[in-house]
Structure 1
Amino acid sequence: MSDSQEATSPVAGIGGPAACVCKVELRVSCKSLLDRDTLNKSDPCVILMVQNQGQWTELDRTEVIKSNLNPVFAKVLMLDYYFEEVQKLRFEVYDIHGAHSIGTRDDDFLGGVECTLGQIVAQKKMMKPLLLKYGKYAGKSTITIHAEEISGNNGYVELSFCAKKLDDKDLFSKSDPFLEIYRINDDGTEQLVHRTEVIKNNLNPVWEPFKVSLISLCSCDDERKLKCLVWDYDSRGKHDFIGEFYTNFKEMQKISSGNKVTWECINPKYKLKKKNYKNSGLVILSDLKLHRVYSFLDYIMGGCQIHFTVAIDFTASNGDPRNSCSLHYINPYQPNEYLKALIAVGEICQDYDSDKRFSALGFGARIPPNYEVSHDFAINFNPEDDECEEIQGVVEAYQNCLPKIQLYGPTNVAPIINRIAKQAAGKEPIKDASLYHILLILTDGVVTDMADTREAIVRASYQPMSIIIVGVGNADFTDMQILDGDDGVLRSPKGEPVLRDIVQFVPFRDFKTASPAALAKCVLAEVPKQVVEYFSHKAIPPMNPVLNSSPNSIANTPE
Structure 2
Amino acid sequence: MAQCVTRVELSVSCENLLDKDVGSKSDPLCVLLQDVGGDRWAELDRTERIKNCQKPEFSKKLVVDYYFEKVQKLKFGVYDIDNKSFDLNDDDYLGGIECTLGQVVSSSVFTRPLELKRGKPAGKGTITISAEEIKDARTVSLEVEARNLDKKVEFECIHPEKKQKKKSYKNSGIIRIKSCKIERDYSFLDYVMGGCQINFTVGIDFTGSNGDPKSPDSLHYISPDGINEYLIAIWSVGSVVQDYDTDKLFPAFGFGAQVPPNWQVSHEFALNFNPSNPYCQGIQGIVDAYRQILPQVRLYGPTNFSPIINHVARFAAHSAQQGNASQYFILLIITDGEITDLDQTRQAIVNASKLPMSIIIVGVGEADFKAMEFLDGDNGVLKSLTGEPAARDIVQFVPFRQFKNAPREALSQMVLAEVPKQLVSYYKLQGWPPVKLPEVKKM
Q: Give TM-score scaled by structure 1 length.
A: 0.52
Cα pair 1:153 1:293 within 8 Å, conserved: no
Deviation at 1:454, TM superposition (A): 1.0
The equivalent residue for 1:38 is none
Q: Please, which of 395, 420, 433 is the counterpart of residue 312 of structure 2?
A: 420
3-state SS, counterpart of residue 426 of structure 1: helix
Distance 1:249 1:490, change over 3 A: closer
The equivalent residue for 2:296 is 404
What is the distance in 2 between the residues matched to 1:423 and 1:484?
22
What is the distance in 2 between the residues matched to 1:485 and 1:251?
40
Cα pair 1:292 1:547 within 8 Å, conserved: no
Distance 1:398 1:261, change over 3 A: same
Deviation at 1:309, TM superposition (A): 0.4
What is the distance in 1 between the residues matched to 2:144 and 2:172?
22
The equivalent residue for 2:330 is 438
The equivalent residue for 1:100 is none
- The residue type paired with residue 411 of structure 2 is L
The equivalent residue for 2:67 is none
Q: Please, which of 383, 402, 418 is the counterpart of residue 510 of structure 1?
A: 402
Are positions 1:495 and 2:414 aligned together? Answer: no
After superposition, the C-alpha distances for 1:301-331 in whole angstroms (9 at most, x for unaligned) are 1111110000000011111111111111112
Are positions 1:481 and 2:373 aligned together? Answer: yes
Distance 1:277 1:433, change over 3 A: same
The equivalent residue for 1:297 is 189
What is the distance in 1 between the residues matched to 2:317 and 2:146?
42
The 5 Å alignment of 1:63-82 reads none
3-state SS, counterpart of residue 421 of structure 1: helix
Distance 1:252 1:530, change over 3 A: closer
What is the distance in 1 between the residues matched to 2:140 and 2:249?
43
- Unaligned 5+ segments in structure 2 are 7-132
Are positions 1:260 and 2:130 aligned together? Answer: no
What is the distance in 1 between the residues matched to 2:412 and 2:143?
42
- The residue type paired with residue 445 of structure 1 is G
What is the distance in 1 between the residues matched to 2:284 and 2:434?
31
The equivalent residue for 2:425 is 533
Deviation at 1:536, TM superposition (A): 1.2
The equivalent residue for 1:522 is 414
Q: Please, which of 110, 129, 138 is the counterpart of residue 219 of structure 1?
A: 138
What is the distance in 2 between the residues matched to 1:490 and 1:266?
53
The 5 Å alignment of 1:91-102 reads none
Deviation at 1:221, TM superposition (A): 6.2
Are positions 1:307 and 2:199 aligned together? Answer: yes
What is the distance in 2 between the residues matched to 1:511 and 1:427?
34
What is the distance in 2 between the residues matched to 1:269 and 1:492?
62
Cα pair 2:365 2:401 within 8 Å, conserved: yes
- The residue type paired with residue 292 of structure 1 is R
- The residue type paired with residue 457 of structure 1 is I
What is the distance in 2 between the residues matched to 1:436 and 1:343?
20
What is the distance in 2 between the residues matched to 1:382 and 1:536?
37
After superposition, the C-alpha distances for 1:223-257 in whole angstroms (9 at most, x for unaligned) are xxxxxxxxxxxxxxxxxxxxxxxxx9967754447
What is the distance in 2 between the residues matched to 1:526 and 1:412?
24
Are positions 1:370 and 2:265 aligned together? Answer: no
Deviation at 1:269, TM superposition (A): 11
Deviation at 1:395, TM superposition (A): 0.3
Distance 1:221 1:267, change over 3 A: farther
The 5 Å alignment of 1:76-155 reads none
What is the distance in 1 between the residues matched to 2:171 and 2:222?
84
Q: Please, which of 204, 209, 219 is the counterpart of residue 327 of structure 1?
A: 219
What is the distance in 1 between the residues matched to 2:140 and 2:326?
32
Cα pair 1:153 1:294 within 8 Å, conserved: no
Deviation above 4 Å: which 4+ runs of structure 1?
248-255, 261-271, 276-285
Cα pair 2:317 2:355 within 8 Å, conserved: yes
After superposition, the C-alpha distances for 1:21-63 in whole angstroms (9 at most, x for unaligned) are 89xxxxxxxxxxxxxxxxxxxxxxxxxxxxxxxxxxxxxxxxx
- The residue type paired with residue 472 of structure 1 is V
What is the distance in 2 between the residues matched to 1:270 and 1:544?
49
What is the distance in 1 between the residues matched to 2:372 and 2:148?
56
Distance 1:541 1:507, change over 3 A: same
What is the distance in 1 between the residues matched to 2:144 and 2:342?
56
Are positions 1:347 and 2:244 aligned together? Answer: no
The 5 Å alignment of 1:457-472 reads 457-472=349-364
Cα pair 1:252 1:261 within 8 Å, conserved: no
Deviation at 1:280, TM superposition (A): 4.8
Cα pair 1:264 1:279 within 8 Å, conserved: no
Cα pair 1:360 1:379 within 8 Å, conserved: yes
Deviation at 1:547, TM superposition (A): 4.7
Deviation at 1:539, TM superposition (A): 1.2
The equivalent residue for 2:287 is 395
What is the distance in 2 between the residues matched to 1:321 and 1:545?
50
Deviation at 1:529, TM superposition (A): 1.0
3-state SS, counterpart of residue 195 of structure 2: coil
Deviation at 1:534, TM superposition (A): 1.1
What is the distance in 2 between the residues matched to 1:253 and 1:282?
25
Cα pair 2:320 2:356 within 8 Å, conserved: no
What is the distance in 2 between the residues matched to 1:264 and 1:453?
59
Structure with the higher fraction of residues in helix conformation: 2
Deviation at 1:268, TM superposition (A): 10
Give % identity: 52
Cα pair 1:266 1:279 within 8 Å, conserved: no
The equivalent residue for 2:278 is 386
Are positions 1:450 and 2:347 aligned together? Answer: no
Cα pair 1:267 1:279 within 8 Å, conserved: no
Deviation at 1:430, TM superposition (A): 3.5
After superposition, the C-alpha distances for 1:114-136 in whole angstroms (9 at most, x for unaligned) are xxxxxxxxxxxxxxxxxxxxxxx
Cα pair 1:424 1:463 within 8 Å, conserved: yes
Cα pair 2:302 2:340 within 8 Å, conserved: yes
Cα pair 2:319 2:327 within 8 Å, conserved: no
Residues paired across the two proteins, number: 314
Are positions 1:358 and 2:214 aligned together? Answer: no
Deviation at 1:494, TM superposition (A): 1.5
The alignment yields a C-alpha RMSD, in angstroms, of 3.2
What is the distance in 2 between the residues matched to 1:335 and 1:476?
23
Cα pair 2:320 2:355 within 8 Å, conserved: no
Q: Give TM-score scaled by structure 2 length.
A: 0.64
